[in-house]
Amino acid sequence: MRTSRCAPASSAWAPGGTRWLTGDTAIARHVCLSVTVTGSQLLAKRAEAFARDERLRQEQLTACSAYAGSLSELKQGLIRIWFHREDPAGSAWKEARAEGDRLGAAAETAQFRVQLVYGDSQLMGLAEAAFSALGAIRTASDRNELREIEKKFEGAVTEFIAVAGALLRGIG
């Protein structure tokens, strides 16, 4: 007769040849089955939580990367506008301005996404600081000042990325 750790061998025969489990054996099998089911449910919940956390982490990574990329594109668009500032009535300035508006909206949308998936006030402050650093481009008086503004912007983006990375790695 085959037995398992969960099913002791003691049992009784019922009328008609059906085998019934006796008191202690029935309880032991029930307990064993309950432990097995509970353990399986616990493992399933852990796997589900891990998968959910990993999806969120991937969403956070994607949102932060997209935001940093959109800021870089916006910077290029604003610099294009700056180079055409002498002729605001010209078609090149108008095209650059329209593209700058589109890039600004895309960056703002990417910032909202970061806020939705993180909600971290420090990270959002850094995201806003990087976005705001670009506003000074329009007031640059010459190329040297423009380069200084770019350096400040790059520092702000680098700080945003560093904090986002630390949060993603779970050390922030």
Which segment of 14-23, 44-53, 146-155, 161-170 scores lowest on mean pLDDT? 14-23
Dump pLDDT digits (tens) for 90-100: 999 999 999 99
The answer, yes or no, to whether residue 13 has pLDDT greater than 80, is: no
**Who has greater pLDDT, 24 or 124?**
124
Q: Is the pTM of this model over 0.85?
A: no
**Who has greater pLDDT, 142 or 37?**
142
Q: What is the CATH number of domain 53-168?
A: 1.20.120
Hey, what are 80's tokens? 């294009």
d(CA 160, CA 85): 30
β-strand pairing of 19-21 with 11-13 = antiparallel
Residue 30 is predicted with a pLDDT of: 64
Identify the DSSP state of 64.
H
Dump pLDDT digits (tens) for 26-77: 666 766 666 676 777 777 788 888 888 889 899 999 999 999 999 999 999 9
Instruction: Enumerate residues 6+ apart whose C-beta is below 8 A from 84.
Output: 90, 92, 93, 96
Quick one: average pLDDT of 125-138?
95
25 CB-contact burial (10 Å; exposed 0-12 / middle 13-18 / buried 19+): middle
Domain boundaries, the chain: 53-168
Residue 90, sorted as left (phi over 0), alpha (psi -120 to 50) or beta, turns out to be beta
Residue 149 is predicted with a pLDDT of: 96
Whole-angstrom CA distances from 56 to 7, 41, 122, 148, 162 are: 43, 22, 19, 36, 18
The answer, yes or no, to whether residue 144 has pLDDT greater than 60, is: yes
Give the phi and the psi of residue 152 in degrees, each rounded to 5.
-65, -40
